[in-house]
């Protein structure tokens, strides 16, 4: 029996899998029970608490895959912590924007990986730069317009 991949190896499989569009393989990187949150998601998203929820999250219809913007993983720095299951990973997705120029989206993931599976993750991804890099800023603005108004603080 081979040893489980390290937290760093699992993280790299995840982000490169996203960048390469290998969405069908990504749910298998997670535990059956997990807690994945996107605290900066706009609009807000619910926690993903199972591998089946992640399978749904990563489902991209074949006809839509062709239109996904190309991206690559850059500027990777993985910080190990006192807890051997926990890493903090800084990186960026570099997109080729609609006008042909590269656009970087900075990300920080705080992950707990046990026995080669992600069991907890907080994925901090800049939503404005993400929508801009995808050429999808109108969709972000529409989602913000639909969001319930909050009372103003004085």
Instruction: Provide the residue-wise pLDDT of the chain in tens; the chain has 154 residues.
Output: 678 999 999 999 999 999 998 999 999 999 999 999 999 988 888 999 999 999 999 998 877 777 777 889 999 999 999 999 999 999 999 987 666 778 899 999 999 999 999 999 999 999 888 888 877 788 878 877 876 656 656 5
pLDDT score at 125: 94
Q: CA-to-CA distance for 93 and 104, rounded, in angstroms?
A: 6
Report domain extents, the chain: 7-146
Residue 138, CA distances (Å) to 113, 123, 143 in order = 36, 23, 9
The upper half-sphere exposure of residue 116, i.e. CA atoms within 13 Å in the direction of its Cβ, equals 5
pLDDT score at 141: 83
Class of domain 7-146: alpha beta
Whole-model pTM: value is 0.86
pLDDT score at 74: 96
Beta strands at 30-37 and 102-114: parallel, antiparallel or unpaired: unpaired
pLDDT score at 149: 58
pLDDT score at 131: 83
Main-chain dihedrals φ then ψ at residue 71, nearest 5 degrees: -150, 160
Residue pair 106/127 in contact by the 8 Å Cβ criterion: no
CA 13 to chain centre: 12
């Amino acid at each position: 029996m081979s040893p489980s991949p390290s937290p760093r190896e699992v993280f790299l499989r995840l982000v490169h899998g996203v960048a390469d569009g290998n969405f069908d393989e990504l749910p298998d990187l997670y535990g059956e029970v997990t807690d994945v949150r996107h605290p900066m998601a706009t609009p807000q998203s619910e926690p993903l608490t199972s591998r089946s929820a992640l399978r749904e999250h990563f489902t991209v219809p074949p006809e839509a895959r062709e239109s996904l913007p190309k991206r690559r993983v850059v500027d990777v720095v993985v910080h190990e912590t006192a807890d051997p299951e926990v890493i903090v990973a800084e990186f960026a997705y570099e997109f080729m924007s609609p006008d042909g120029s590269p656009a970087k989206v900075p990300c920080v993931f705080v992950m707990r990986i046990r026995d080669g599976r992600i069991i907890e993750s907080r994925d901090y991804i800049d939503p404005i730069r993400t929508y801009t890099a995808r050429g999808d800023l109108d969709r972000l603005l529409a989602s913000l317009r639909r969001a319930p108004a909050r009372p103003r603080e004085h």
